[in-house]
């Protein structure tokens, strides 16, 4: 289906051409004066110099060609040469009807879909998710859904960190606390216990303690580094404990992601790519891509266009140890081998921008991907507290993500109980959905790279630009449609375009114009990997719907034809909003 802006552009191009001017001047944009018109064309101003005519004369010539066109309710030339456009109700009805009947509301998806792999989890095992993991998970899930909706073949990977110093720190601390465990007895040759010697709660305390202690005690850090090397060299006891860490951590991670409605197709780990590293490193050396520098093996990645020097990408440290960069490069090798993607997208903290610049350049220089494979870094800003600093607990600790979700859901629950009489169980179920919408919409309504303030009171408000407000709008339509059916009415799942009537007032027209922006929104969100564009759209659409609801009688309308037309619009808007919130990663309850 052609977008409304495209239809108008083609009309204006034709008008310019018929009037004897170049069609290129028929560009149309949304009016910056909505009080005067809906769309505008400024082409006559640009054409004046070429044709040595007054802009108003050119605009008048164009309008003369279009004044009988039924697509326009009104089209006029305004000094000094603007063309103001008001779309006809018949065109708006035609478009809305097409959106009802066509898949994806008439959206034209990619003709050449891409295979995309998106890396958007990145948590380390041995510790629970915390608030720093929220943005990559929420943004990545939404970007994945948007790309899939637009036709791409998308694979989501959690990419767990399970091979670095954090494992050595945990093993060291477990040894300090439980030195008699058989895992640390080099003479032990029996079967190790099947049950882990720690719980997820233990790990949640062990890792932060070990990490903090190692920063203040050099001998402890050295011991952890030696333990890491021992583990990575395949020590039997260390590997058995490592498997316990995985078996305790991963189910907890999966449950937390499930409650966030975040799903991964792959649960790949750093350890999965260790086998690729030796051959990769040897090839880099043989091809002259990597060279020794102060004992380390590095790849120079600085380019002439750089405004500041980019440090070399270290592939192997002077002591023979590998780094995150090594693992990330080996992961690219594996992804190329297993999936041959057209694009790999990484969603993580924007403070890792330099790391990924180094990795991407090293990967391309070493030929680890096809030349045409795009490597894209989506760096997200931080979620901050009201003090403008990264979100912390009152005692200065890192807030577990589960605790944040529970606190938000409890806040929503309390607001609901204050205003409605719900049974406890139902209220909790609704609060879970509304709380998740509050968190995700509060995050995604911001541009990815921007930091934002997490304001629980604002995010959980049922008014304004919030997730609960969007859900309340959807539930309001669901309730009204359910009431209509309870009274004996029947309405199809997608609405009946034959029952639509042209808008007769401002709130009706605004609603038609709002839904017409769907395709533009989706294309922009897809091209820019920008979920906030979807948030902007559904907020504006919700506002238009609520004005329409308040200014027009719907079920009580005495004009049967108008009543039916209104109901069809409600179905269309409800379906569109529900599709959009799915793309953002949450859903609406049946009532609120």
Of 38, 32, 10, 5, whose CA–CA distance to 503 is shortest? 38
| Contact present, 480 and 555 (Cβ < 8 Å) | yes
Residues near 53 by Cβ (< 8 Å), separated by ≥ 6?
47
Per-residue DSSP letters for 80-116? TTEEEEEE-HHHHHHHHHHHHHSGGGG----SSPPEE
Instruction: Tell me what percent of the residues of the chain surpass a pLDDT of 70.
Output: 99
Res. 397 pLDDT band, cuts 50 70 90:
confident
Tell me the C-alpha to C-alpha distance, in Å, between residue 135 and each of 105, 116, 230, 445.
Answer: 29, 20, 34, 12
Residues near 243 by Cβ (< 8 Å), separated by ≥ 6?
none
| Contact present, 330 and 369 (Cβ < 8 Å) | no
Res. 35 pLDDT band, cuts 50 70 90:
confident
Q: Is the dihedral of CA 389, 395, 401, 405 positive or negative?
A: negative
Q: Which helix (H) or strand (E) holds 380?
A: strand 374-380
Joined tokens for residue 400:
């577990």
Tell me the backbone φ, ψ of residue 318, rounded to 5 degrees: -60, -25
Parallel, antiparallel or unpaired: strands 39-41 and 29-30: antiparallel
| Contact present, 383 and 390 (Cβ < 8 Å) | yes
Residue 250: how many CA atoms within 13 Å on its side-chain side? 16
Mean pLDDT of 525-553: 97
Joined tokens for residue 327:
């693992």
Q: Is the dihedral of CA 104, 110, 115, 117 positive or negative?
A: negative
| Contact present, 107 and 518 (Cβ < 8 Å) | yes
Tell me the C-alpha to C-alpha distance, in Å, between residue 480 and each of 370, 469, 486.
Answer: 54, 17, 10
Res. 394 pLDDT band, cuts 50 70 90:
low
Q: What is the pLDDT of residues 248-280, one digit of tens each?
A: 999 999 999 999 999 999 999 999 999 999 999
Our CA dihedral for 245, 251, 255, 257, rounded to 10 degrees, sits at 70
SS in 3 state form for 313-324? EEEECCCCCECH
Residues near 173 by Cβ (< 8 Å), separated by ≥ 6?
206, 207, 209, 210, 213
Tell me the backbone φ, ψ of residue 408, rounded to 5 degrees: -65, -45
Tell me the C-alpha to C-alpha distance, in Å, between residue 592 and each of 45, 173, 466.
Answer: 52, 48, 15
Is the pLDDT assigned to residue 210 strictly greater than 80?
A: yes
d(Cα 317, Cα 582) in Å, to the nearest integer? 45
Q: Which helix (H) or strand (E) holds 18?
A: helix 4-18
Q: What is the pLDDT of residues 504-526, one digit of tens each?
A: 999 999 999 999 999 999 999 99
Instruction: Tell me what percent of the residues of the chain surpass a pLDDT of 90.
Output: 91
Of 587, 583, 130, 117, whose CA–CA distance to 347 is shortest? 117
Is the pLDDT assigned to residue 416 strictly greater than 90?
A: no
Joined tokens for residue 288:
């002259």
SS in 3 state form for 338-374? HHCCCEEEEEEEHHHHHHHHHHHHHHHHCCCCCCCCE
Is the pLDDT assigned to residue 320 strictly greater than 90?
A: no
| Contact present, 19 and 32 (Cβ < 8 Å) | no
Residues near 177 by Cβ (< 8 Å), separated by ≥ 6?
206
Is the pLDDT assigned to residue 153 strictly greater than 70?
A: yes
Q: How far is CA 180 from the centre of its chain?
A: 47
Res. 389 pLDDT band, cuts 50 70 90:
confident
- The average confidence (pLDDT) of the chain is 95
| Contact present, 472 and 588 (Cβ < 8 Å) | no
pTM, 2 dp = 0.94
Q: How far is CA 485 from the centre of its chain?
A: 36
Tell me the C-alpha to C-alpha distance, in Å, between residue 189 and each of 232, 328, 469, 489, 542.
Answer: 20, 35, 62, 75, 66
Joined tokens for residue 167:
């494992």
Q: What is the pLDDT of residues 69-121, one digit of tens each?
A: 999 999 999 999 999 999 999 999 999 999 999 999 999 886 789 999 999 98
Tell me the C-alpha to C-alpha distance, in Å, between residue 30 and each of 8, 102, 434, 520.
Answer: 11, 25, 33, 12
Q: Is 275 exposed, middle or buried (0-12, 13-18, 19+ CB in 10 A)?
A: exposed
pLDDT at 357: 97
pLDDT at 396: 65
Q: Which residues pair with 36 in a beta bridge?
A: none
Res. 231 pLDDT band, cuts 50 70 90:
very high
Residues near 371 by Cβ (< 8 Å), separated by ≥ 6?
364
pLDDT at 322: 87
| Contact present, 578 and 592 (Cβ < 8 Å) | no
Locus of tokens 């509060």: 442
d(Cα 144, Cα 584) in Å, to the nearest integer? 10
**Between 397 and 123, residue with greater pLDDT:** 123
Q: What is the pLDDT of residues 334-374, one digit of tens each?
A: 999 999 999 999 999 999 999 999 999 999 999 999 999 99
The full length of the chain comes to 592
d(Cα 447, Cα 450) in Å, to the nearest integer? 6
């Amino acid at each position: 289906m052609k977008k409304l802006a495209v239809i108008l552009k083609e009309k204006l191009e034709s008008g310019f051409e018929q009037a004897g001017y170049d069609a290129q001047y028929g560009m149309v944009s949304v009016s910056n004066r909505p009080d005067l018109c809906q769309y505008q064309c400024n082409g006559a101003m640009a054409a004046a110099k070429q044709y040595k005519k007054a802009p108003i004369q050119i605009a008048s010539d164009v309008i003369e060609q279009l004044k009988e066109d039924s697509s326009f309710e009104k089209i006029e030339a305004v000094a000094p040469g603007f063309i103001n456009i008001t779309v006809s109700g018949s065109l708006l009805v035609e478009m809305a009807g097409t959106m009802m009947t066509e898949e994806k509301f008439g959206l034209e998806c990619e003709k050449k879909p891409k295979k995309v792999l998106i890396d958007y989890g990145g948590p380390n095992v041995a510790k629970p998710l915390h608030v720093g993991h929220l943005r990559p998970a929420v943004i990545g899930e939404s970007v994945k859904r948007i790309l899939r909706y637009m036709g791409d073949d998308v694979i989501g990977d959690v990419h767990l960190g399970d091979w670095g110093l954090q494992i050595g720190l945990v093993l060291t601390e477990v040894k300090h606390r439980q030195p008699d465990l058989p895992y640390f007895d080099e003479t032990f040759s029996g079967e190790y216990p099947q049950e882990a010697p720690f719980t997820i709660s233990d790990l949640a305390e062990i890792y932060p303690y070990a990490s903090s202690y190692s920063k203040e005690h050099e001998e402890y850090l050295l011991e952890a580094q030696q333990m890491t090397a021992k583990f990575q060299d395949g020590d039997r006891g260390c590997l058995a404990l490592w498997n316990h860490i995985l078996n305790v951590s991963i189910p907890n991670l999966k449950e937390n992601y499930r409650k966030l409605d975040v799903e991964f197709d792959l649960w790949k780990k750093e350890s999965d790519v260790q086998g690729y590293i030796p051959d990769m490193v040897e090839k880099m050396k043989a091809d002259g891509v990597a060279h020794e520098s102060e004992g380390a093996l590095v790849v120079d990645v600085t380019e002439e266009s750089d405004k500041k020097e980019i440090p070399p990408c270290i592939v192997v440290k002077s002591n023979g140890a590998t780094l995150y960069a090594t693992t990330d490069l080996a992961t690219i090798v594996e992804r190329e081998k297993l999936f041959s993607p057209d694009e790999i997208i990484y969603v993580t903290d924007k403070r890792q921008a330099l790391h990924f610049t180094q990795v991407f350049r090293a990967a391309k220089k070493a030929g680890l991907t096809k030349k045409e494979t795009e490597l894209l870094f989506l760096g997200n800003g931080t979620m901050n507290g009201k003090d403008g600093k990264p979100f912390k607990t009152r005692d200065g600790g890192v807030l577990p993500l589960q605790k944040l979700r529970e606190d938000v859901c409890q806040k929503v629950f309390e607001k609901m109980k204050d205003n409605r009489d719900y049974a406890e169980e139902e209220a909790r179920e609704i609060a879970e959905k509304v709380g998740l919408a509050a968190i995700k919409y509060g995050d995604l309504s911001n541009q990815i790279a921007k930091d934002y303030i997490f304001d629980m009171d604002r995010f959980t408000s049922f008014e304004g630009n919030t997730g609960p407000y969007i859900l309340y709008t959807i539930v309001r339509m669901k309730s009204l449609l359910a009431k209509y059916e309870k009274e004996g009415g029947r309405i199809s799942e997608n609405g009946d375009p034959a029952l639509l009537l042209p808008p007769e007032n401002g709130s009706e027209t605004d609603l038609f114009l709002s839904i017409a922006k769907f395709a533009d929104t989706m294309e922009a969100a897809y091209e820019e990997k920008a979920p906030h564009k979807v948030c902007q759209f559904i907020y504006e659409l919700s506002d238009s719907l609520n004005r329409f609801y308040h200014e027009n009688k719907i079920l009580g309308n005495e004009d049967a034809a108008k009543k039916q037309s209104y109901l069809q619009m409600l179905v269309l808007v409800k379906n569109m909003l529900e599709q959009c919130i799915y793309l953002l990663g949450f859903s609406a309850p049946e009532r609120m």
